[in-house]
């Protein structure tokens, strides 16, 4: 049994199984692909081959495509199921209403599928295969309807009194619909004739209408008999004519008052159905045995024998077991006692089948239901792959106290209800975009529900940020899904990283607190910049961090943000230098002085940011040469832009470089060694100059405080922009 094997894998491996050979499509699955998939397995269409999940199958990918009709059915069933779980005081009427809603959802699915097949829009769809699946859905509808009649309407007043007629109508709807259509069309054809009674199909059609319980339609056709019409055209008639007319009127009365007719719903509910049937049957017997016109007319005789429930007459007219059973339910004594309908079905079946022929699987299920053996019926239903029906039907049967679905199964350590819900959820969960329904079903599985939810969330594809947000919203506030929440964020981050959407990847890593993965991503971003010889990836990756200080940053990410700021300062510095060269050619002294002041200030800011980068332990080795080059360039500025503290930091960085494990790799290039020596030489000059400036500034503050304060105020009032961000005032 396919579903059982899926459950066994779940119990053994503690995670959901996967489909061995599954049609996998993209997000936009076509109807043709949906028709070829195994997404209808929950309704008996084909079967899935379940295997335990391995490391190679753990990747998130889209499942097979479920047809639109089945998706609508899943959604409608889910809505009914959730409402029934929320109603803790559901009575018999509530259960009956929920059953009708399930049945209407299935019926709507059948009608929609029929319409699609009739239009032939999908040229690639196998019409024969879809037709077989449509038959399976119709069988499911018939079985559900029968269970509703026998088990899910308990407590409804008068239900047992009309049960036999309801079963007859059930046969009429699910087995004899084609026969009814044929009989009605034949009746309309005969009504158009002048003398329909001469047609060989006249009496046969009337008898067929009577056997379907439609006495009014039978009389409507019988009233077209030429003899009956001629009697009304005469003003005076003989005794024979009057007797014939009274015979027609007597038959009319019997046909219009047939037990179980549609108009019978207006009768008093307290009326005894058995008494009503006995009076009607006695009248038929009396008319058959005493009326001379009926005895002399073979058509009338055969009709009255059918109405009187003569077994041989009904057998000779019916051609199938369900046609005979329907006639006996309408015309024979009402079967209001339990455990009699199965004998009626078995007897009718034997009329048209020999002893060696056995009932098919669906007929066996129907027979078991009529025996009120619902436990075996449900087991047969799930064995045929009807997990949708088993899950929802068992839930309603338990609520109506028909079965005990809360007892633990010895082989599964869970209840029967939970097992059916698991099997149905696993079937639909293997299709794409069904996770929202699946996890809600798993919530009602106390034993394996948490394991199944975690496994389902871990395998759900995350193609967009919107879907990722929906998964995280489901996990929000659930402590048992905290780890799943972290897995979702890192998986989405990895997908963004694969697409080189580094900003989104960093954002998801920050939300999930994946600091180690964030450090690795920072290295990848720097490598991307180095390979492309461009800082575009860096700017796109960390630009969003400017306005979101609430995210906890790792040290490497903080270094990356500062490094970007340093690059922006260098860009502004280069822009000012170019502008200064342009203004020198114009000999505009005043404007040139303003630019020189700005250039000085930006250089000081660059030195401060470079000091921060050197002082951090997260400085990447791959950028060591580039940072030292920028340091050399700033060290050549005169007067110096470094403070003594900044220069000591640079000296400490060079000493640390000499003590590092990869110093040999750094010094393999002769240019690196020469660069270090030049910087050490420049540090000596800049350090002496910086110390003199600091001492002079300190002395000025003592001798002439007002002048120093004025200068500081003027500097503080000047605002300079670096890439749309205001500079911080220079350190004193």
Q: To 10 degrees, the CA torsion angle through 316, 319, 321, 326? A: -80
d(C-alpha 642, C-alpha 692), whole Å: 12
CB 563 within 8 A of CB 538: yes
One-character DSSP codes across 227-282: HHHHHHH-SS--HHHHHHHHHHHHHHHHHHT-TT-GGGGGS-TTS-HHHHHHHHHH
CA distance 496 to 508: 9
Hey, which residues does 726 pair with through a beta bridge? 721
What does the alpha-carbon distance between residue 292 and residue 297 come to, in Å, rounded to a whole number?
9
Q: In terms of Cα–Cα distance, which of 328, 112, 287, 302 is closest to 218? A: 302
Tokens found for residue 306? 């059918």
For the chain, counts of helices (H) and of strands (E): 35, 4
For residue 299, give Cα distances in angstroms to 189, 222, 227, 520, 559.
19, 11, 13, 93, 102
Give the span between the Cα atoms of 590 and 420, in whole angstroms: 87
What are the start-end ranges of the H helices in 476-623? 482-498, 502-512, 515-532, 536-542, 555-586, 589-615
Q: Residue 18 belongs to what H/E stretch?
A: strand 18-19
Per-residue confidence (pLDDT) for residue 157, from 0 to 100: 45
Distance CA 168, CA 175 (A): 10
Q: Choose among 187, 259, 258: nearest CA to 223.
A: 187
Q: What pLDDT does residue 206 have?
A: 95
What Rg value do the Cα atoms of the chain yield, rounded?
44
* Dihedral sign for Cα atoms in the order 569, 572, 577, 580: negative
Output the CA–CA distances (angstroms, integers) from residue 36 to 23, 45, 67, 73, 370, in the order listed: 8, 11, 9, 18, 36
Q: Which of 187, 189, 196, 183 is nearest to 225 (CA)?
A: 196
Place of tokens 């990895």: 494
Mean pLDDT of successive 10-residue segments in the chain (732 residues)? 68 86 45 60 85 64 81 96 89 91 96 86 68 92 94 63 86 92 94 91 94 93 90 69 88 91 46 78 93 91 93 92 92 68 90 87 92 90 92 93 77 83 93 92 93 92 92 93 93 91 89 87 85 83 70 76 88 87 69 84 90 84 83 88 89 83 71 84 88 79 40 36 38 36
pLDDT of residue 301: 94
Alpha helices in 359-434 (DSSP H): 361-370, 374-383, 387-399, 416-429
Tokens of 593: 């002085």
């Amino acid at each position: 049994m396919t579903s059982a094997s899926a459950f066994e894998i779940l119990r053994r491996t503690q995670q959901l199984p996967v489909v061995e050979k599954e049609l996998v499509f993209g997000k936009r699955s076509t109807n043709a692909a949906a028709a070829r998939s195994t997404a209808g397995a929950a309704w008996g269409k084909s079967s899935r081959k379940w295997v335990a999940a391995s490391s190679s199958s753990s990747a998130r990918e889209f499942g097979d495509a479920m047809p639109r009709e089945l998706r609508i059915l899943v959604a409608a069933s889910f809505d009914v199921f959730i409402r029934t779980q929320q109603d803790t005081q559901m009575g018999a009427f509530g259960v009956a209403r929920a059953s009708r809603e399930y049945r209407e959802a299935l019926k709507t699915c059948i009608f929609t599928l029929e319409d699609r097949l009739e239009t032939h829009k999908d040229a690639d769809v196998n019409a024969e295969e879809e037709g077989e699946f449509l038959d399976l859905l119709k069988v499911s509808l018939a079985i559900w309807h029968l269970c509703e009649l026998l088990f899910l309407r308990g407590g409804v007043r008068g239900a047992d009194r009309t049960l036999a007629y309801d079963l007859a109508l059930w046969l009429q709807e699910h087995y004899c619909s084609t026969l009814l259509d044929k009989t009605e069309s034949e009746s309309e054809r005969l009504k158009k004739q002048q003398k329909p009674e001469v047609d060989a199909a006249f009496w046969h059609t009337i008898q067929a209408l009577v056997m379907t319980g439609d006495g009014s339609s039978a009389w409507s056709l019988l009233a077209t008999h030429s003899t009956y019409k001629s009697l009304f055209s005469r003003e005076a008639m003989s005794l024979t004519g009057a007797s014939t007319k009274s015979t027609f009127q007597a038959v009319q009365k019997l046909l219009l008052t047939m037990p179980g007719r549609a108009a019978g719903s207006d009768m008093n509910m307290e009326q005894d159905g058995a008494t009503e049937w006995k009076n009607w049957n006695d009248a038929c017997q009396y008319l058959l045995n005493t009326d001379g016109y009926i005895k002399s007319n073979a058509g009338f005789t055969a009709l009255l024998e059918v109405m009187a429930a003569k077994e041989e007459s009904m057998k000779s007219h019916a051609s199938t077991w369900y046609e005979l059973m329907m006639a006996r339910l309408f015309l024979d004594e009402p079967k209001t006692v339990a455990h009699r309908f199965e004998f009626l079905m078995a007897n009718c079946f034997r009329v048209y089948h020999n002893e060696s022929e056995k009932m098919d699987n669906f007929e066996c299920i129907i027979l078991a239901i009529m025996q009120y053996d619902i436990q075996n019926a449900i087991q047969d239903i799930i064995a045929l792959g009807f997990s949708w029906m088993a899950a929802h039907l068992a839930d309603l049967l338990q609520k109506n106290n028909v079965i005990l679905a809360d007892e633990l199964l010895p082989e599964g350590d869970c209840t029967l209800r939970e097992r059916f819900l698991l099997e149905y959820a696993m079937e639909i969960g293997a299709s794409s975009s069904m996770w929202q329904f699946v996890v809600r079903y798993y919530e009602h599985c106390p034993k394996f529900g948490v394991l199944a939810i975690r496994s389902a969330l871990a395998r759900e594809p995350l193609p967009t940020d919107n879907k990722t947000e929906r998964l995280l919203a489901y996990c929000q506030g659930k402590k048992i899904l905290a780890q799943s929440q972290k897995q979702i964020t890192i998986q989405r981050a990895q997908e963004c990283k694969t697409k080189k959407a580094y900003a989104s990847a960093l954002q998801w890593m920050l939300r999930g607190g994946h600091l180690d993965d964030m450090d690795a991503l920072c290295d990848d971003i720097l490598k991307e910049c180095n390979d492309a010889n461009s800082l575009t990836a860096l700017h796109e990756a960390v630009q969003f961090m400017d306005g979101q200080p609430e995210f906890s940053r790792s040290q490497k990410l903080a270094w990356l943000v500062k490094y970007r700021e340093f690059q922006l300062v260098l860009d502004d510095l280069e822009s000012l230098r170019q502008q200064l060269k342009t203004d020198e050619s114009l000999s505009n002294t005043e404007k040139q002085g303003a630019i020189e002041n700005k250039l000085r200030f930006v250089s000081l800011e660059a030195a401060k940011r470079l000091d921060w980068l050197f002082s951090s332990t997260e400085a990447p080795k791959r950028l060591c040469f580039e940072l030292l080059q920028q340091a050399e360039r700033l060290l050549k500025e005169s007067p110096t832009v470094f403070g003594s503290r900044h220069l000591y930091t640079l000296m400490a960085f060079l000493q640390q470089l000499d003590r590092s494990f990869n110093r040999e790799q750094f010094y393999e290039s002769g240019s690196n060694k020469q660069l270090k020596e030049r910087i050490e030489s420049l540090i000596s000059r800049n350090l002496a100059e910086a110390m003199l400036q600091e001492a002079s500034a300190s002395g000025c503050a003592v001798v002439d405080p007002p002048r120093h304060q004025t200068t500081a105020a003027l500097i503080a009032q000047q605002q300079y922009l670096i890439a749309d961000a205001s500079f911080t005032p220079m350190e004193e």
